Amino acid sequence: MIKFAGLGRLAAATVLLSGIAFGSVNAQEVSEDQIKAARAAINALGITNQFDNILPNLAEQLKSTMIQANPNFGDAINSTVDATALALAPRRADLEREAAVTYAKAFSADELKAIADFYNSPAGKKLLKDGPLATRELYKAADIWSQGISRDLANQSNDALQKVVKQPVITPDANAAAQPAQPAPKQ
């Protein structure tokens, strides 16, 4: 469920960033009011939470690599890399600032306030929490519906075609189009 919770946030970020990439937003200076409103919207969405583990994960990877290369210095490597990572932790604010600027360029201060208000409301919180699950269930329903429509389209088209040509026609398997082709049997 946690994986799916991040999916909604990722989708929101993707939509936002694609809009920026395709020029729907002018390169513009942003005011501190816009930055403040953007930070409130970002906090409500929790959109940057997915980046919280970047530095700890990088530190763990570096420690592992360094210890493999220098196994006799494991304790020193652990303490040194941990201390360096802690010293770099304040740079996380740079990413938050970039996120706020990105959102401030994409949305007006009023839009950002409306976004924050909605996602801080009970309905907005529920959407963030349960939206990914609902989306997954919707995709399942669409898949089942698609299979039924495919079957009915093939059957009804076949019946109608037989009436037009007034002779039997070969009925393809309705699911054959959805199935990948199988290799020919070896002889």
In the numeric block, the tokens 């994409």 are attached to 106
Enter the pTM of the model.
0.62
Q: Where are the domains of the chain?
A: 2-120, 130-179
Please give the single-letter amino acid code of residue 110. Answer: D
Rounded Cα–Cα distance for residues 8 and 105 (Å): 21
Dump the DSSP string for the chain. -HHHHHHHHHHHHHHHHHHHHTT-S------HHHHHHHHHHHHHHTTTGGGTTHHHHHHHHHHHHHHHH-GGGHHHHHHHHHHHHHHHGGGHHHHHHHHHHHHHHHS-HHHHHHHHHHHHSHHHHHHHHHHHHHHHHHHHHHHHHHHHHHHHHHHHHHHHHHHHHTS------TTGGGSPPPPPPP-
Please give the single-letter amino acid code of residue 74. Answer: G
Residues 6+ apart with CB under 8 A from 185: none
Rounded Cα–Cα distance for residues 35 and 19 (Å): 19
Please give the single-letter amino acid code of residue 165. Answer: V
Tens-binned pLDDT, residue by residue, of the chain (187 aa): 455 455 455 445 554 444 544 444 445 789 999 999 999 999 999 999 999 999 999 999 999 999 999 999 999 999 999 999 999 999 999 999 999 999 999 999 999 999 999 999 999 999 999 999 999 999 999 999 999 999 999 999 999 999 999 888 887 765 555 555 566 667 6
Instruction: Describe the chain by its helix, strand, coil percentages, rounded to 5.
Output: 80, 0, 20
